[in-house]
A = this chain, B = another copy of it.
Amino acid sequence: MIQNLNKHERESLHEALAKSGQKITPQREIVYTVLLAQRDHPTVDEVYNRALETMPGLSLATVYNCLETFVGCGLVRQVNHERESTRYCPNLAPHAHFRDESTGRVHDIELPKEILDQLTKILPANFETETIEISFQGRTKSSTQN
A contact set with B: CB distance below 8 Å: 78, 80-83, 86, 96, 98, 101, 107, 109-112, 115, 118-119, 122-124, 126-144
A140-B127 in contact (CB<8A): yes
A26 to B45, CA, bound (A): 42
A138-B129 in contact (CB<8A): yes
**Known: A78-B82, A141-B126. Contact between A135 and B136, CB under 8 A?**
no
A80-B78 in contact (CB<8A): no
A56 to B103, CA, bound (A): 42
A132 to B115, CA, bound (A): 14
| Smallest beta-carbon distance A106→chain B, Å | 12
How many identical subunits does the complex contain?
Answer: 2
**Residues of chain B lying within 8 A (CB to CB) of residue A109:** 122-123
B133-A135 in contact (CB<8A): yes
| Smallest beta-carbon distance A22→chain B, Å | 21
| Smallest beta-carbon distance A101→chain B, Å | 7
B132-A122 in contact (CB<8A): no
**Residues of chain B lying within 8 A (CB to CB) of residue A139:** 127-128, 130
**Known: A82-B80, A119-B115. Contact between A135 and B138, CB under 8 A?**
no
For A132, give its contact among B80, B101, B136, B144 (CB under 8 Å).
B136
| Smallest beta-carbon distance A117→chain B, Å | 11
